[in-house]
């Protein structure tokens, strides 16, 4: 494996679409999301889990992940070939897995995609096989909140909970991205409307030539996720939906929209999205939500790993 490409972003921001596009490149391969990095590599780097003492310990820890999705390689053989009781074991295991995928598909660049790692981006970058390239894709937060309302894994949450979770992911990413040397930010809406030029820019950043099959990502998009994920990733099995933006204008009520924009006013400014409500009103009345977010963030840091 010559390089690593890592895709991240807030959930429902277009990470799967970008992953599918890059996976069509003749030099890149992205395994299905197995959460080994999130569940094992980062906690290990933060000292939250000890090095395994036996290969059975490794298999037990992998039960916390979705490692069973990695059907293209012999994971048990990889485990047997590793040396346990060493620092950064899971980091090495992750590297072995990516190397095996690159070898199996005869592609020199290994990819990984997991929105969860916005919570510890600098630590993520430090644990990736080098050279590593981080791609952060962002999207209009109003469309993100709308999209999250429709997926099964986010049902039952209140609007406020979704908003605070979104703010937490962006806050962590913003604070840590200064520590990442190879980082490219991609606007989801630009990827939809100027697809070729955006992919050319991404390829230039990674150091490869743009390839036209990347535009036909949907032909093999099913390779990057499993059957159970199709319910919320089915759009990447279709040709590009260039109008998949600003749906919030039609599908979010004025009352809910005001609450959303008050809560994410800071993020709208950060990513240069135009509010629909009066900017002065948002600036004056957004402070209670920022205060509430500070309380939420203090609690969330005790529950999840994060940047310090």
CA-to-CA separations, 239 to 7, 69, 182, 192, in angstroms, rounded: 21, 25, 30, 11
For residue 258, how far is the Cα from the chain centroid?
27
Per-residue pLDDT reduced to its tens digit, 180-218:
889 999 999 999 999 999 999 999 999 999 999 999 999
Distance CA 202, CA 248 (A): 28
Average pLDDT, the chain: 92
Per-residue pLDDT reduced to its tens digit, 123-169:
888 999 999 999 999 999 999 999 998 887 777 889 999 999 999 99
Q: Which distant-in-sequence residues (6+ apart) come within 8 Å of 90 by Cβ?
A: 36, 40, 41, 44, 49, 61
* 3-303 CATH pick, 3.40.50.880, 3.40.50.360, 2.40.50.140, 3.40.50.300: 3.40.50.300
- Strand bridging mode 3-8 / 183-187: unpaired
For Cα atoms 212, 213, 218, give the angle at the middle one, nearest 5 degrees: 135
Per-residue pLDDT reduced to its tens digit, 245-270:
999 999 999 999 999 999 999 999 99
CB 265 within 8 A of CB 286: yes
The residue assigned the tokens 């992911």 is 169
Query: In the chain, where are the structural domains located?
Result: 3-303
The pTM of this model reads 0.92
CB 300 within 8 A of CB 168: yes
Looking at residue 302, what is its pLDDT? Answer: 64
Mean pLDDT of 229-243: 83
DSSP H helices in the chain: 15-23, 36, 42-45, 55-62, 75-80, 89-105, 121-127, 141-148, 159-176, 188-193, 195-206, 230-233, 248-251, 254-263, 265-270, 279-285, 287-303
């Amino acid at each position: 494996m010559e390089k690593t490409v890592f895709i991240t972003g807030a959930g429902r921001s277009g990470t799967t679409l970008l992953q599918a596009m890059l996976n069509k490149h003749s030099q890149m391969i992205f395994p299905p999301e197995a959460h080994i990095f999130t569940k094992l590599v980062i906690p290990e780097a933060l000292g939250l889990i000890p090095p395994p003492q036996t290969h059975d310990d490794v298999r037990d820890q992998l039960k916390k992940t979705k490692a069973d999705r990695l059907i293209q390689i012999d994971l048990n053989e990889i485990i047997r070939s590793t040396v346990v009781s060493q620092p950064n074991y899971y980091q090495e295991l992750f590297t072995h897995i990516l190397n095996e995928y690159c070898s199996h598909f005869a592609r020199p660049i290994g990819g990984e995609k997991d929105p969860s790692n916005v919570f510890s981006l600098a630590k993520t970058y430090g644990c990736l096989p080098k050279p590593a390239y981080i791609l952060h894709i962002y999207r209009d937060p109003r469309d993100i909140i709308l999209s999250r309302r429709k997926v099964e894994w986010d049902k039952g949450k209140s609007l406020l909970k979704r908003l605070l979770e979104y703010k937490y992911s962006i806050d962590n990413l913003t604070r840590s991205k200064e520590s990442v040397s190879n980082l490219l930010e991609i606007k989801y809406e630009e990827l939809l409307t100027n697809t070729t030029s955006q992919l050319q820019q991404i390829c230039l950043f990674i150091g490869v030539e743009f390839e036209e099959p990347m535009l036909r990502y949907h032909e093999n998009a099913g390779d990057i996720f499993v059957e159970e994920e199709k319910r919320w990733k089915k759009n990447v099995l279709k040709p590009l939906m260039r109008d998949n933006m600003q749906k919030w204008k039609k599908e979010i009520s004025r009352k809910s929209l005001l609450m959303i924009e008050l809560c994410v006013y800071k993020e709208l400014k950060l990513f240069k999205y135009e509010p629909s409500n009066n900017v002065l009103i948002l600036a004056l009345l957004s402070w209670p939500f920022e205060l509430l977010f500070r309380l939420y963030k203090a609690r969330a840091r005790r529950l999840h790993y994060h940047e310090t």
